[in-house]
Chain A
Amino acid sequence: FPSPHRTTTTHKKEWILRFEAEYRRFALKRNGPGGFQEFYRLLQTIHRIPGVDVLLGYADVHGDLLPINNDDNFHKAVSSANPLLRIIITKKEDDPVVFATNSLQRRKKGLGLTGLRTTGSGSTHSKNKSGLMIGLPQNFRQISSIIDVDILPETHRRVRLHKHGTHKPLGFYIRDGVSVRVTPQGVEKVPGVFISRLVRGGLAENTGLLGVNDEILEVNGIDVAGKSLDQVTDMMVANSHNLIVTVKPANQRNNVVHRGSKSSVGNSGSVGSAGSTGSALLHDSPSPASQSNPITASNSTAEGDSDDEDDDADLILENDCLTPYDSHRVANSNSTNLNRDSPSNRPHNFAVGRPFPQSVSLPNSIGASLSDSSVMMSNHNGNPSHTASSSQESMREDGNTITL
């Protein structure tokens, strides 16, 4: 791989591409790589595979196989090319590529450098179990983020936990405590709410953004001052699907430092550069709530419906078979004594006679990912399996209503 252009290309990048064991190598201007879509089309032309859906991956400096599926990670990939960037292209309908840390190195070992890119064989899969699993790009899901770094005081941290879709418990406990505030009158002790414990393996612990004894200042933009422990508990539970907590970390050493103020603040010396770049990274992809959640606008957040999409996700089952009265006489009479129904009756009027446990299990299995209220499915004569599969297909990340 030593490139002849290596010394000369300050403005160009070298590319190695492999597709169906086919390698292409080409150069690209470093300072003007364009967007992801542009690049994607470029690849399709280079490989002469227009119209074939592919997944792109690249190997970063640590040898991790990471996906390229948007502008951000494309730019990141380009910037990390040193100077060669290896891109791995996989056909989409194949078994999923498992992106994982160290996966490339391991694959290198197993298959050799020239080894064919076997598209997601079972063996790769099982080998990768030991590594940290990363799902498919389309299944990528943010589980937490630090937001509003620019508007919060440095001593505070606003953390967003996304419970949505994960089965991990939020996993933390809060308690009453005494907070020391510095006021013009001097130091003042006021009651406060603190994190008392993190559950092992829970979301809160995994993010590493919350710690024991962190003081909770706000929940979803609402000041907790003057509220009781039970009130704060209820607020957090009510917002648990999209919980934004502003804390004053007990450990003030890992604070996010504003880039601009880095030089002026003396204590930033102890702040690891890894920490600051890491948080900057997270900040680079602003979440919608970051705009709507300045501290001063806490009221508007509370009343506004800015983050309501996933909130409206009530599951509604309607039985509209009643409109044509005659055709459903049988179903009607069945339904009147549906509780005495023998199971054999159920397939005929599943919507009517569906026993409760089943309908409860619905949100359990798919309800978590059902979301978009715009998706309305009219399903008068479908069978349950059809409903399930069709809804699964059209289910999207943010909120929904289903009409059966």
Chain B
Amino acid sequence: MKRFRRHGQESQRDRLKQELFQFNKTVEHGFPHQPSALGYSPSLQLLAIGTRSGAIKLYGAPGVEFMGLHDENAAVTQVHFMPHQVELVTLLDDNSLHMWTLRGHKGLSELLEIGRFTLTGPPGAPPSVTRVTAVLAHTSGELLLLGTEGGHVFIVEVPGFRELEERNISLDQVAASVPDDYIGRRNLEHVEALQENPINPNQVVIGYGRGLMVIWDLEKRCAIQHIPATQQLESVWWTEDGSYILSSHSDGSYCRWMVGGEDVNDEEEKSDIPYGHFPCKAISKIIQLPTEEGPPFLLFSGGMPRASYGDRHCITVIHCKTHVALDFTSRIIDFFVIRDGLQHTGDPSALVVLVEEELVVIDLQTDCWPVIQTPYLVPLHSSAITCSHHVSAIPLKLWERVIAAGELQNTHYSKKPWPITGGQNLAPDPPQRDLLLTGHEDGTVHFWDASGVCLYPLYKLSTAGVFHTDADPNDNMNQGAEGEWPPFRKVGCFDPYSDDPRLGIQKIHLCKYSGYLTVAGTAGQILVLELNDEAAEQTVEAKVVDLLQGQEGFRWKGHTRLDVREEPVLFPPGFQPFALVQCQPPAVVTALTLHSEWKLVAFGTSHGFGLYDYQQKNTVLIKCTLNPSDQLAMEGPLSRVKSIKKSLRQSFRRIRRSRVSLRKHHVNNTAKLQEANARLEAELAEMELAPVQRKIEARSSDDSFTGLVRTLYFADTFLSDSSHNTPSLWAGTNGGCVFAYMLRLPPVEHRADEPVTAQPAKEIQLMHRAPVVGIVVLDGHGAPLPEPLEVAHDLARSPDMQGSHQLLVISEEQFKVFTLPKVSAKMKLKLTAVDGSRVRRVGVAWFCSSRTEDYGESGLVVLTNQGDVHVVSLPHVKMQVQYPCIRREDVSGIASCVFTKHGQGFYLISPSEFERFSLSTCYLVEPRCLVEAPLHSGSSSQRRSQPDGASSTHRTRQDSEDAEVLQEIQKSLEGDQTSFLENNVKSAVA
């Protein structure tokens, strides 16, 4: 009987769980890791990026994003859109071809793989015969031309991937007609390039590796012209009027050839080695585009003098008298040019360059060719991310001030709008403004708009200015000297080489109501900053805090404290530091929290914690948590690990310097880099060889690093007796110890002169001694206490002070609820003892029901070392749901995870990408977009002759259609939702 009743309650709870929780990975923010291919469709205005891990990502207007993943775990080597269609073809390095399409589905588009194909050669032929090296998507939209390593060109009908064997262009056919005097005729090598004649789609030029180019007529199936270049071919470009062919070569030269009908013995018209005299590297791609009036644009990548600038990643742009070698931060993957006009045949407007670590777009129509800021694909890792912090529901006032501060920093960007505008973003406006703050190794904090699908940079704060750093002031890499040749210009923001690793940001806490920000770093520095709309010159006074408190036998072997600038420093508008605390020993700050109402900052390191009053600028409390037997903490960081990292960093730094200084160092440096890499590899190999064996031992109090402070928490609660609530500070350590201090704040009118005092009140030693990762005080209703100032701003219900409060201590192994003020254990949830996982990240989140609007509940969101996310109910600490989220091997991903207050989360899937996930049924940020097929179809002549008027009428019609489509989508969505719910209810009832 009892069991039956319980069952009923459980099913009701299960139904509620379905309304509250669901797990989705929604969108990837940032720049794809290891991009390997780039494609662009002028008609769709979509950009496609393929990666080494087999992902294919499409981007259009901000918010329009698609992602697909090839089943094969092979790198994408080429991406080609089928002209004027919504299909695209990818080539992987396992030689398979894949056809993808953007399929409309319930008013939204989705990227779908619709076919795959691998060339099959004649029986017994070597694999090189069918190894695809060049792909041409023919403008007819029906043909793919595949050039292979064996020198053949296969013609395949798409979308069905039907081989048209009779139309194949075999090497023998071509070789037979090659003029006898051509020196390389015995071996033409692989097909390097395939290009179509822009004015005659029946003509294609086949470029062979050896240098020979053959213009082939697809209809007559014969060679029309042979172009006898003798240098190794790198790329071919057919000029728009169809009268010239440009070829680029491995010796750094390019040639221009006249396309001249039947004249077989055509001479090269012009040949040039742009950075000549000394041997040059290959020009890997060349483009020439006409302008309405004036000379054409010539763009090519590579071609730098091998000895002195062979390590630069450059694209040269030449127009009129302007000649610039754009110097990128990493290897160039590919580039293309966006052109004006409805048919995308007008003047070049923007150059889009995909390099290994970022996407750079250059405005070619504004003087000096400034960079256009990218609204997506922003390199998060311009300096390595060291921590992140998410703040939900930013008040409009703060939001505007941050944006204003950010705009002042972006004056060097082009004013032009983002040129890639394909697709429509149908996602509803984000319900609130969210900020994601990332701390970086170089001491900067980046503010990102994390409200929507595009993680957009808002503002960048640098803390380096407060300190004297190792940075060499003469180490100016931005501009070369006047009249330097080649005329370099540095572009891009990727700069992973930190000048001083001590600057690295480790913890961030922003109060969204007061605009106070505190950041803490690797060398024990804690800065308190406030938002100022004006630039200000001020001196930041440092307060050194000795966390050892006379502890004997301590020897700090780590880095030294940062050297503070004593002279006034000019801080630009934005967040400006006004107080600085430096921990001694200068160990990395491991916990940080700010209470803007009480004007207090609490900070902790592996040696202890302190409380700092930033109004009076003095310390209120210092507590040493060191255990004398704590060997590791006593001696500072492990020297071995550090030395590798340091030496690597130093060698990188040396390389960087050499890039701008003398050329003779350069060989030496690559050798050093290799050496460092080899050392690192040896180190890794050593680690892997260690036997996989684990010691089973009960924890004892003298385990290492027990004193490390893991969490700090401010609460206004009942610490001493159940009738008076007082401010309190809670600290949890790695050794399972919780310290509670009662704080006494002077009345507001004397806040500036009377001291704040702290008095120890409680100490809890958890018997299981697992690290304490979180502390939360629950009010009389069992709800977590609101953030400081939240109630004052009417954004939260004031906490219930009538009922008795409870203390929730979250250790890596258990969730444990204690009563307050008398601390005694009330209930708990064991995690590790049951399934062997440990809590890595924890946050409090609010979950709303997807069905009834007014129902919601708080829960703990937990990420374990197994990579699973759990939701644990409050205040009863019962496990609600569990979803696998991150691979458990992905330690850095797990460590990087942050939760939002509404059940979403972010974690790094690569150094440069955040994956966003959601546990909530209500808060879901995911791309919802539509891409429509271009209406033009048929032959190219038709397309080109189409009058502009026609397309403009089409435009307006489309606009009205859009509105309808939107409505329809809305309806279908709503319908979906209700039917989904109904289904749920039905299944639950059943």
| Contact partners of A361 in chain B: CB under 8 A | 701
Of chain B, the residue at the smallest CB distance from A364 is: B701
Question: Are B696 and A174 within 8 A (Cβ)?
Answer: yes
Give residues 2-24 of A contacting B (CB, 8 Å).
none
Q: Find out whether the CB atom of A311 lies under 8 angstroms from the CB atom of B768.
A: yes
Of all chain B residues, the one with the shortest Cβ separation from A245 is: B696
Q: Known contacts A241-B698, A318-B761, A318-B763; can you find 16 more A-B pairs with CB under 8 A? A: A170-B696, A172-B695, A197-B693, A231-B866, A234-B813, A237-B696, A238-B833, A316-B765, A317-B765, A322-B720, A322-B759, A323-B721, A335-B759, A339-B623, A356-B626, A363-B765
Answer whether A175 and B694 are a contact pair too, CB < 8 Å, given A228-B888, A363-B701. Answer: yes
Determine how close the nearest CB of chain B comes to the CB of A202; give it in whole angstroms: 9
**Residues of chain B lying within 8 A (CB to CB) of residue A310:** 767
Asked if B125 CB lies within 8 Å of chain A CBs, one says: no
- Complex Cα distance, B757 from A338, in Å, reads 11
* A222 part of interface (Cβ distance < 8 Å): yes
CB atoms of B764 and A315 under 8 A apart: yes
Size of A's binding interface in residues, CB under 8 A = 64
| A-B CB contact pairs (8 Å), 5 listed | A235-B834, A238-B813, A318-B761, A318-B822, A373-B825
Shortest B629–chain A CB gap in Å is 9
B interface, CB within 8 angstroms of A: 549, 620-628, 691-699, 701, 706-707, 720-721, 735, 737, 742, 744, 755, 757-768, 770, 813, 816, 822-825, 830, 832-838, 865-866, 888
A169 interface residue per 8 A CB criterion: yes
Cross-chain contact of A236 among B696, B767, B888 (Cβ < 8 A)? B696
Contact A169 B888 (CB under 8 A): no
Q: What is the bound-complex CA distance between A367 and B759, given in angstroms? A: 25
What are the residues of chain A within 8 A of B836 when measuring CB–CB? Answer: 224, 227-228, 230-235, 238
CB of A314 within 8 A of chain B? yes
Complex: chain B residue closest to A231, CB-CB:
B836
Given A175-B694, A233-B694, A360 and B701 contact (CB-CB distance below 8 Å): yes
With A and B bound together, what is the CA distance between A139 and B757 in angstroms? Answer: 47
Query: How long is the Cα–Cα vector from A228 to B834 in the complex, in angstroms?
Result: 13
Q: How far is the CA of A359 from the CA of B625 in the complex (A)?
A: 11
A314 touches B832 (CB 8 A): no
Residues of A within 8 A of B693 (CB): 173-175, 196-197
A229 part of interface (Cβ distance < 8 Å): yes
B256 to chain A, nearest CB (A): 62
Q: Which of A176, A224, A237 contacts B697 (CB 8 A)?
A: A237
* Interface of chain A residues 336 through 383 with chain B (CB within 8 A): 336, 338-339, 351-352, 356-357, 359-364, 367, 373
Neighbouring B residues of A359 by C-beta, 8 Å = 763, 765
In contact, A339 and B698 (Cβ under 8 angstroms): no
Point out which of A196, A319, A403 has the most chain B C-beta atoms below 10 A from its C-beta.
A319
Residues of chain A lying within 8 A (CB to CB) of residue B549: 339
Q: Is the CB of A339 within 8 A of B621?
A: yes
* A95 at interface, CB cutoff 8 A: no
Hey, which chain B residues are within 8 Å of A241, CB to CB?
698, 767-768
Give complex CA distance A172, B837 in Å: 20
Cβ contact of A312, chosen from B628, B767, B823, B832, cutoff 8 A: B767
Cα of A261 to Cα of B830 in the assembled complex, Å: 39
- Are B764 and A316 in contact (CB-based, < 8 A)? yes
- In the assembled complex, A240 has its CB within 8 A of some CB on chain B: yes
Q: Which residue of A175, A239, A314 is within 8 Å of B833 (Cβ)?
A: A239
A87 interface contact, C-beta 8 A:
no
Partner among B628, B755, B825, B832 whose Cβ is within 8 Å of the Cβ of A234: B832
User: Across the interface, do B834 and A312 meet the contact criterion of CB distance under 8 Å?
Assistant: no
The 7 closest A-B pairs by CB, nearest first: A231-B836, A240-B698, A238-B832, A315-B765, A336-B757, A238-B833, A235-B836
Q: Give Cα A288 to B837, complex, Å.
A: 27
Does A171 interact with chain B (Cβ within 8 Å)? yes
CA distance A311 to B770 in the complex (A): 13
- Per-position contact with B for A157-182: 1 when CB-CB < 8 Å, else 0? 00000010000011111111000000
Chain A residue contacts of B737, Cβ below 8 A: 360
Q: Is the CB of B834 within 8 A of A222?
A: yes
Chain B residues with CB under 8 Å of A339's CB are 549, 621-624
Task: Name the residue of chain B whose CB is nearest to the CB of A336.
Answer: B757
Chain B residues in 8 Å Cβ range of A323: 720-721
- Is A71 an interface residue, CB under 8 A from the partner? no
C-alpha spacing A252/B766, complex, angstroms: 40
Report the Cα distance A335→B743, complex, angstroms.
11
Q: What residues on A are CB-neighbors of B694 within 8 Å?
A: 173-175, 229-230, 232-233
Output the least CB separation between A366 and chain B (Å): 12
Residues in B whose Cβ lies below 8 Å from that of A318? 761-763, 822-823
